[in-house]
A and B are shown apart, each in its own frame.
Chain A
Amino acid sequence: MHDPIYTALSGVSKLETHPGILSIYKYDFLAIPKRLLRFVKTPICVVQPKNDEEVVKILEISERFGIPVITRGTGTSGYGGCVPLERCIIVDMKNFNRVVIQDHTAVVESGAIWLDVESYANKFGKALRVYPTSATVSTVGGWIAQNGYGIGSLKFGSIGENVEWLEVADYNGIKLIKGDKLKYYIGAFGTTGIILRACIRLREATPIRSSTFECSFEEALRKIDGAYHANFKDRCHMKFERLGDGDVLLVSYEGEGESSELGEILWGRRLRPLKALTTDKIYSEAVVPYENAFEFYKKAKEISLGLEAIFASNCVIFLGLFGRNLKQYLKALKFVKIAENLGGGVYTTGMLFPHKNKAKRELKEYKNSVDPEGLLNPNKAFQNNAFSKIMKIGERFLWTV
């Protein structure tokens, strides 16, 4: 059935068509309940392009056959951003992993792993300003596509705030995206183009010193000024880390100086996230402005099993731990609702929350101009789908929890 597509693609790029192996590409970190798996489709194939020309040819084939494409890094985001909802071609960017360090920036291909970029930059006395807690495995393109926050976001904001330009491919070829137009790609989950490379800002590779405080969340908010990174873990998370049973704030600063013992341990473990997560639990994430962060914390504490917060330059990112049953799922949604009521909202959109995208209309118009057939990662980021409809239905029942 797909033979003509396979024939066309086989001359272009490394191609995988084994049905069993393709079934792996139905998933990312998102925990999809078994009953909902029927909305997920097995991709037609996986291609692993090695250069820009191959990407362009893949897009030509996608257009010719009317087959959608989904760009994939390592599938470590929990929002279903690369989960196929239609039969599609998966464009796996792992071969795009070159890095060039310039004065204060790095030009990085989208399939590069964040930690590899950091190690390479360190050789030039530079360091990443921000990187995800999943930096050991996650890709540059994936994190930009969801506009993530992570280590260093307290000083430098989200990854989107640290991108100078992007090079993207779409059905009109390859283009350089700068300035205001970046908003159509950062956080857009590849719905408007395939990110090929990014120019990201770097910092000097000054050492990081870390301290911890056993304190309440309210006190934590007063202790983070001037820091490079700060992370609050409640007692539930500290217990999972086997590091104590009190609420702890980690504050990390740039520059020489002494670290506390626990500070060093927690900083050392910054790239070992999810210690509290087991198969019977899920995380819900929400972004809240500083002025309402404590209010959110108090309310979220009442409904979640555990709380963690990452402090960013202009907001706090909360991670709430929930169980895996209907009531707990509703609580996880309520977590987001509370954030919305306090001027915040979802961490990112992906497959779950396209209906909550505040730039929905603008993105829709832009997509129509670059992807009129709607073949680039359809039904994500700002376009509704079966999962987002289920989320919307769930939101009607939040009063029950």
Chain B
Amino acid sequence: MDCIKCGLCNVCPVFKVEKLESASPRGKLILLSEIKRGAIKLDVRITKELYKCSVCGICSEVCPSNLDLVTFWENVREELVNKKIAPLPVHRKVRDITYREFNPYGGDQQKRAEWLNFSVGKSRTLYFAGCTASFKAQNIAKATANSLRNLGVEFTVMGAQEFCCGSPFLRTGQKDIAKMLFTKNIKTWQREGIEEIITSCPGCYKTIKEDYPKFAEESKIEFNLEVKHVSTVFAEEIKKTGSIDLIATYHDPCHLGRHMGIYEAPRDVIRRSGIKLVEMERIREFSLCCGAGGGLRTQFKEIAIAIAEERIKEALATGTNVIITSCPFCEYNLSRVGGSRVRILDLSEIAEKIISP
């Protein structure tokens, strides 16, 4: 990787918490180049440092050389896994759970669509709730499903036949299990005649939209599904305006914003809801990560908490304690760290309120 060592990537949220240069993107790149030229040896400590990253992508955003560091970090992790130095212990544990239960939370697959409070029929459109909304933040799955129904979007859910998309494993370099999950999902979708997927999880959205076509090509499977994040569906379909009397700020999820370029759709929905949107200091492509992604919360919980704390402080500085986001994992991390100081809402809950009959 052709790094000019300018250090502008030191805006990295993990580096801000850790303060040691091995946690910065430039530091990691130096470590890798020193290993490559034989000056130092790869060991457990360095491996751990290389995993101290939420793969949020702010480093790529600020890099004057336009290095694609998100892909690079994932490739580095994949190499570490191939060399059997990784996954790290907690990532390995999550992997074992997922091999058994097909979701990283160890939730009962049979109860995966327990949140659904109305029946759905067969449809070519699938609402893929994802693991976090299915097991940990069911309010999001419920609100999304209700909103889609009220908007007249016909959809189905896969229930026990919805498997983890593989995002937590792709981000931590575990391509094998991600590919296994891809195969299970794609077979189900083919069998059910799915042509369009709507998801409320940016992690699932990125994985299915960007990584699944690559898996499909490798496996010589045809992949012509249309994949949408629910925020864009809401932005397109909601014609009503709401009158929600609330002042709120919006947190850009990294996988939705920086990774997939969706910044405006969620804001459109918020504006239409009547909510007064007050922006934080760091937004859109420069938004601060919530700290949860890339396996960071799983393995280095204290760093993820410190980053979330920083984001919460930034949100509170706007004068409101209501944070809207459009990612179950961001909601999960921010609400656990913020506790009673903040009220975290998902965009689907706002959409539900605007269009409720």
Contact = CB atoms under 8 A, between A and B. Distances in A.
B226 to A, nearest CB: 31
A46 interface: yes
B22 interface: yes
A274 B4 contact: yes
B3 A279 contact: yes
A79 to B, nearest CB: 13
A75 B8 contact: no
Contact of B7 (A20, A31, A48, A137): A137
Interface in B5-24: 5-11, 19-22
Interface of B: 2-11, 19-22, 27, 30-31, 34-35, 37, 39-41, 43, 45-46, 49, 62, 64-65, 281
19 contacts: A19-B40, A21-B21, A21-B27, A21-B49, A23-B34, A23-B39, A24-B21, A24-B34, A25-B21, A28-B7, A48-B20, A134-B6, A134-B8, A138-B7, A273-B64, A274-B64, A275-B64, A278-B65, A279-B4
A20 B5 contact: no
A137 B11 contact: yes
A281 to B, nearest CB: 8
A95 interface: yes
A75 B19 contact: no
A277 B62 CA distance: 13
What 9 A-B pairs are tightest by C-beta distance, nearest first?
A: A279-B2, A274-B64, A137-B10, A76-B7, A20-B40, A94-B19, A21-B22, A24-B27, A24-B21
A48 B15 CA distance: 14
Contacts of B9: 137
Contact of A23 (B2, B6, B11, B40): B40
A272 B64 contact: yes
Interface residues of A, number: 34
Contacts of B43: 20
Contacts of B46: 18, 20-21
Contacts of B64: 272-275, 277
Nearest to A46: B20
Interface string A60-81: 0000000000000011100000
B2 A20 contact: no
Nearest to B317: A123
Contacts of B3: 279
Contacts of B8: 76, 134, 136-137, 272-274
A397 interface: no
A277 B31 contact: no
A119 B282 CA distance: 12
> Quick one: which of A19, A34, A119 has the most chain B CB within 10 A?
A19
A119 B40 contact: no
Interface string A293-337: 000000000000000000000000000000000000000000000
A24 B31 contact: yes
Contacts of B27: 21, 24
Given A20-B41, A20-B46, A137-B11, 8 more contacts: A16-B20, A21-B49, A74-B7, A75-B21, A136-B8, A137-B8, A137-B9, A279-B3
A202 B4 CA distance: 33
A172 B67 CA distance: 46
B34 A29 contact: no
A29 B7 contact: yes
Contact of A279 (B11, B35, B65, B281): B65
A279 B37 CA distance: 17
Contacts of A30: 5
A92 B19 contact: yes
A278 B10 contact: no
Contacts of B7: 28-29, 74-76, 134, 137-138
Interface in A25-39: 25, 27-31, 34
B11 A18 contact: no
Contacts of B21: 21, 24-25, 75
Contacts of B35: 20
Nearest to B46: A20
B41 A277 contact: no
A153 B10 CA distance: 24
A243 to B, nearest CB: 15
Contacts of B2: 278-279
Interface in A253-312: 272-275, 277-279
A391 to B, nearest CB: 19
A284 to B, nearest CB: 15
A25 to B, nearest CB: 7
Contacts of A34: 37
B62 A272 contact: yes
Nearest to A123: B317
A76 B46 CA distance: 23
A10 to B, nearest CB: 16
Contact of A20 (B34, B62, B65): B34
A20 B281 CA distance: 36
A20 B44 CA distance: 11
B72 to A, nearest CB: 14
A279 B1 CA distance: 10
Nearest to A274: B64
Contact of B22 (A24, A76, A279): A24
Contacts of A19: 40
A198 B107 CA distance: 55
Contact of A76 (B6, B19, B40): B6
B19 A24 contact: no
Contacts of B10: 74, 76, 137
B112 to A, nearest CB: 43
Contacts of A75: 7, 21
B40 A277 contact: no
Contacts of A76: 6-8, 10
A318 B10 CA distance: 25
A18 B47 CA distance: 13
A271 B27 CA distance: 21
Contact of B4 (A25, A119, A137, A277): A277
B31 A20 contact: yes
Contact of B5 (A23, A29, A48, A95): A29
Interface string A1-29: 00000000000000010111101110111
Contacts of B281: 119
B45 A20 contact: yes
A48 B8 CA distance: 21
A137 B209 CA distance: 34
A232 B327 CA distance: 43
Given A31-B5, A278-B2, A23 B65 contact: no
A74 B40 CA distance: 22
